[in-house]
C-alpha cells in the first residue's frame, strides 16, 4: 500500500515537472518565430506590432465589412503609419478605405482600389513602417 502511494506521488510529481518544463519552453519561444497557419502568408516582419493578432489569412476584405479581418488590416495599416491607432474599430469605413488606397498607391504594382485582396494582404504582411508623411 505504501509503495503504491509513493509510486503514485512520484508519477504526479513527474507530471507536474513535465507541465512546468513545457510551460517554460513555450514562454521562452519568441512569438515572432511561430509559424503562420497559412504557409503562403508568413508572420509579420520585424517592426510590426505583436498586437496584430486578429486574423491570419488573405481573404478578400472590402468597404463596409466588420470583424477580425478588418481589425487586422487596420492594425497593420496603423503599424505602417497609414492609419491612426485611434481608428482601429473593426469597421471598414471611409478612413480605413482611404488608408488602404494610400498604402496601395505607395506600393506598386498594387492598384489603389481599396480592395484588400490576397496581393494587398501579402504587401501588408511584408511591408515595414513605410509612410513618412503625416496623416491628415
Q: CB of 93 within 8 A of CB of 42?
A: no
Angstrom distance (rounded) from CA 66 to CA 46: 27
Confidence band for 45, pLDDT divided at 50, 70 and 90: low
Tens of pLDDT, residue by residue over 70-99, are 999 999 999 888 999 889 999 999 999 999
More confident residue, 109 or 56: 109
Confidence band for 51, pLDDT divided at 50, 70 and 90: low
Q: In the numeric block, which cell numbers belong to residue 34?
A: 511561430
Mean pLDDT of 40-50: 49
3-state secondary structure of 103: helix
Angstrom distance (rounded) from CA 86 to CA 34: 28
- The whole-number pLDDT of residue 17 equals 44
Phi, psi of 91 (to 5 degrees): -120, 125
Closest CA to 98 of 114, 111, 121, 87: 114
Query: Is the sign of the CA dihedral 117, 119, 123, 126 positive or negative?
Result: positive
Mean model confidence pLDDT for the chain? 73
- The whole-number pLDDT of residue 133 equals 56
- The whole-number pLDDT of residue 115 equals 98
Amino acid at each position: 500500500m505504501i509503495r503504491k502511494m509513493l509510486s503514485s506521488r512520484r508519477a504526479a510529481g513527474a507530471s507536474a515537472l513535465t507541465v512546468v518544463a513545457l510551460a517554460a519552453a513555450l514562454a521562452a519561444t519568441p512569438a515572432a518565430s511561430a509559424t503562420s497557419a497559412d504557409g503562403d502568408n508568413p508572420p509579420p516582419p520585424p517592426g510590426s506590432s505583436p498586437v496584430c493578432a486578429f486574423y491570419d489569412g488573405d481573404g478578400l476584405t472590402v468597404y463596409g465589412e466588420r470583424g477580425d479581418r478588418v481589425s487586422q488590416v487596420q492594425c497593420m495599416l496603423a503599424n505602417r503609419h497609414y492609419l491612426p491607432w485611434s481608428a482601429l474599430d473593426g469597421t471598414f469605413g471611409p478612413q480605413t478605405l482611404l488608408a488602404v488606397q494610400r498604402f496601395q498607391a505607395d506600393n506598386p504594382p498594387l492598384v489603389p482600389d481599396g480592395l484588400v485582396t490576397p496581393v494587398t494582404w501579402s504587401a501588408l504582411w511584408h511591408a515595414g513602417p513605410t509612410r513618412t508623411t503625416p496623416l491628415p
